[in-house]
Structure 1
Amino acid sequence: MSLQTWKVTEPWLEIKCALGEGPYYSKEHNHLRFVDIFDKKLHIVDLAKGPASLRTIDTGMAVGVTADIKGEHDFILTGAKDGITKFNLETGEHQYITKLWAESEGPEKVRRMRSNDGAVDSAGRFWLGTMNDPKEAEITNEAVLFRLDTDGTLHRVLEEVSVPNGISWNEKDDTMYWTDTPTNNVFAFDFDAKSGNISNSRVFYHHPDNESHGNPDGHSRDVEGNIWHACYGGSRVVKVSPEGKLVGEILLPTRNPTCPVFVGTELFITSAQEDEPERYPESAKCAGCVFRVDVGVEGMPKHEARIP
């Protein structure tokens, strides 16, 4: 069976992110926002006005992912360098909800770790994966997938992982999907929506172990149950069916796409700088930009975080 194929030839937003990540569509504001983890920036675009409306806020620390908060207009939730915070969109100030690491783990643990990807489930719990900060340490298996419950309790759901990435849930809300980048696997878990507990881990999709196809990074789901997965180093976003089969791909003009997000039937895709610009000069031209493509199907709606 031939793959559905889309080809993107130019950026929608020309911006040179060092590590563009965490794209999020705020329906309330009709804004697209995304972070630059390495440069410690939050970028916001008013989609009614287009790329010229770009506004940038200094985050003051590495932020990997954001989410809307139910009932809040001026604040968003962030997975930040060493904790989960409420971030003021007007002042750029963080208010810690919780730190991620215990004092007994020491300042060195805080220094060498940072937040990565995350998502909010149907109950408003915030799931957040951490990883070694590549600016501070080598990648090891000391990372954790956390879950912040609506009463403020922080749980360590998965430990001894290295680069936890995209998280999503199916339409029935009884299965959670989680990407483990170094193994090229997307895992499925049985999910208890009432308690937030997961069980019965199994491989849902294994991305080809082929250097030219890259490694799975962030992902989004559509209303038909497909997962759209950015492939860092692979110049593409792949479409994976509800059965875990590769059925489509979006080809991009830069090698390091990081994460897609749906706005209606369109995907907006963040990217990172080119690691080898002399070897891949064409990729370097639009590395770090944001891309846009209509794939003809709407995405699953995002949930708002419920925090104490």
Structure 2
Amino acid sequence: MRIEVLVDVKTQLGEGPLWDVEEERLYWIDSAGMSVFRCTADGREVRSWDVPQPIGSMALRKSGGAVVSLARGFHFLDFKTGEVDLIHDPEPDKPDNRLNDGKVDKRGRFVVGSMDLKEAGKNASLYRLDPDLSVHKLENEIIVSNGPCWSPNGETFYFADSWSGEIWAYKYDLETGSVSNRRVFAKLDTSTGGAADGSTVDSEGFVWNAQVYDGKLVRYAPDGSIDRVVQMPVRRATSVMFGGPKLDVLYVTSMATPYQPQLPRDPIERGSLFAIYDLGVKGLPESRFAG
């Protein structure tokens, strides 16, 4: 295994690496810097798009372009023009919230959670944006939504409220997009300040979670037990996604801004996009939004 800095862009809050299997390009975002980035598998041809609000997540669309969760709602992003168009704001009455992490299920629905910007109260929720652009609430009483992803068959949904110290698993109904039977999938060791951030599921059904502020990537077996721990060169590793032509490279985002000033500062690599090679594991293609 080797870890390399793929692109040194110093994102304030890097998040959401997303591999496009069709064009063989990697996307990621700077949530606080209000930008979307794209590069080749080996970090060349870097390109970026500005968005008008803090961005929580993005997904590619089957029809082209992307759907993004900005602070004030779901939007479409046109890569050709850079234009951003509002679809729906599910929380117009909650100015202290913003939309955060999200991914697309196997039927092309975009599932996104919100977060309390003060990270203090259970004021956020989990939403599903359907291909017909209708929005449905799936869960509430959340502080910071993070790490949505699905088992390979799409029938188990993984999700975390970062400050709960737990990763949850739900039964996911592929026909309706509803969640049920929440259970604790894994408990984190929060004694060193770590919190569950972005996640992905590999081809063997194991869950990879970036544990921000602790600098660890943890691979959980389907039964929730810890299979492997990868120590990153930075404490503020934020999210993970497999990509590359063979889907065997693990891309990792990080943050440059010390949102938790009481923790030690990261070295010069902070905010970089990392690539981890030779893990002996492959990922799964990400679904596109069908709307």
Q: TM-score of the superposition, structure 1-length normalised? A: 0.88
Larger radius of gyration: 1
- Alpha-carbon offset, residue 274 of structure 1: 5.0
Q: Which residue of 2 aligns with 1:97?
A: 87
Equivalent residue in structure 2 for 1:196, among 174, 177, 181: 177
Kindly provide the amino acid, as one letter, of the partner of residue 83 in structure 1.
Answer: G
Counterpart position of 2:48: 56
Matches within 5 A, 1:141-156: 141-156=122-137
| Maintained 8 Å contact 1:11/1:292 | yes
State the Cα distance separating 1:138 from its structure 2 match: 5.0
Pairing partner for 2:72 from 66, 82, 105: 82
Equivalent residue letter for 2:160: T
Following superposition, the deviation at residue 173 of structure 1 comes to 2.4
From 280, 283, 290, the counterpart of 2:273: 290
SS in 1 for 2:234: coil
Among all aligned residue pairs of Structure 1 and Structure 2, give the percentage whose two residues are the same amino acid: 28
* Cα displacement string for residues 33-83 of structure 1 (whole angstroms, at most 9, x for unaligned residues): 111111111111122xx33421122112111111111122xx111011111
Aligned residues: 286
Answering whether residue 213 of structure 2 is matched by residue 221 of structure 1, we say no
Q: Structure 1 residue 15: deviation in Å?
A: 1.6
User: What secondary structure is seen at the aligned counterpart in 2 of 1:182?
Assistant: helix
Partner of 1:265: 248
The verdict on how the C-alpha distance between 1:268 and 1:52 changes in structure 2, with shifts beyond 3 A counting, is: same
Per-residue deviation, 1:90: 2.5
Could you say which residue in structure 1 is the equivalent of 2:283?
A: 299
Paired residue type of 1:60: P
Deviations 1:141-189 (A, max 9, x none): 1101001122222111111111111111112322111112101211111
Which residue identity does 1:155 align to in structure 2?
A: H
Aligned CA-pair RMSD: 1.8
Moved over 4 A (4+): 276-279
Residue equivalent to 1:232: 212
What TM-score do the two structures reach when normalised by structure 2?
A: 0.93
Cα distance, 1:277–1:149 mapped onto 2, change above 3 Å? closer
**Contact 2:152 / 2:201 at 8 angstroms: preserved in 1?**
no
**Residues 76-115 of structure 1, C-alpha deviations (whole Å, 9 max, x = no match):** 110111111110112221111222225xx2xxx2x32211
Map of 1:7-86 to 2, 5 A cutoff? Answer: 8=3, 10-47=4-41, 50-72=42-64, 75-86=65-76
Is the 1:262–1:268 contact (alpha carbons within 8 Å) kept by the matching residues of 2? yes
Which amino acid counterpart does residue 251 of structure 2 have in structure 1?
A: F
Separation (CA, whole Å) in 2 of partners of 1:35 and 1:173 = 25
| Cα gap change, 1:279 to 1:233, in 2 (>3 Å) | closer
Match 1:211 to one of 192, 198, 201: 192
CA distance in 2, matches of 1:169, 1:56: 28
Q: Say which of 83, 107, 111 aligns to 1:123.
A: 107
Does the 8 Å contact 2:248/2:281 carry over to 1? Answer: yes
Aligned to 1:3: none
2:96 counterpart of 1:112: yes
* Alpha-carbon contact 2:116-2:124 (below 8 Å) kept: yes
**5+ long unaligned stretches in structure 1:** 1-5
8 Å Cα contact 2:213-2:263 kept in structure 1: no
Matched residues in 2 for 1:279 and 1:164: separation?
Answer: 22
Q: Helix, strand or coil: the match of 2:267?
A: helix
AA in 2 matched with 1:268? Y
